[in-house]
Amino acid sequence: MTDQGEFRGSTVLITGASKGIGAETAALFGEAGAFVLVHYNTAKEEAAAVLNRVRELGGNGETVPGDLRTVTGCRELIDRLKQNGWDIDILVNNAGSLIKRTPVLEMSWELWDQVLTLNLTSAYFLSQAVLPGMVEKKRGVIVNVGSIAGRNGGGIGASAYSIAKAAISTMTRSLAKEFSPHGIRVNCVSPGTIDTNYHRTFSTPQMLEAIAAATPMGRHGTAREVAEVIIFLCSCRSNFIQGQTIEVNGGFLMP
């Protein structure tokens, strides 16, 4: 539960915010009074609906397009932030996807580049773009969204995605070490199987049933449950949490 007005005056950029975890995170920030930049790639109408929800809950913001599967798209998003003069207080690097479940022997250079750019490179360079402003203010928060796949290697056909998500956890620790002296906190949330279209797209019903059965809590998580952890990591209640990857998986994988 967020405190009303907790993030009033803060500008928050959430990538991949048109649906799922990103959309729920945007709504929670809206409830807390933030100005939310709702990033999307192709889901323009869904992003607009998320922004409307943010405003109805008491926040404000804008939708921001950008194809983070390509370096050009990443640069265009960064340029758009600069052109609009948006000074980012909180960055949630949530955008990510398998793009296509592909066995190792069928992986192309082109698909590898897309998966790594979307899930890792975009997060790195967006962080690089917003960090100077955070350093100047001596405050700021970055939350990266990883995946349980970064710990267990994911399912068959998810090798590139799993590798990128493992790197996200390492990136989190690296940025935390470098920018902690500047008053900036960097942490990571690592969801397990969450009840979103993402998992329904890339997994069969049988796979999803098996995962739920193997999860001690006996079910999949919800986007809201992950969003609550992201909000917590951005709040003053987590001021002494730094460089951590928080597992949100119902006990499916225990460190």
Which positions are annotated as active-site residues?
Answer: 161
* Side chain identity, residue 82: K
Please name which of 17, 81, 15 lies closest in space to residue 46, comparing C-alpha atoms. Answer: 17
Q: How many CB atoms within 10 Å of residue 192? A: 23
Triad 220, 127, 8: Cα angle to 5°: 75
Question: Please, which residues have CB within 8 angstroms of residue 10's CB and are 6 or more apart in sequence?
Answer: 29, 34, 35, 89, 90
Report the C-alpha gap between 186 and 245 in whole angstroms: 10
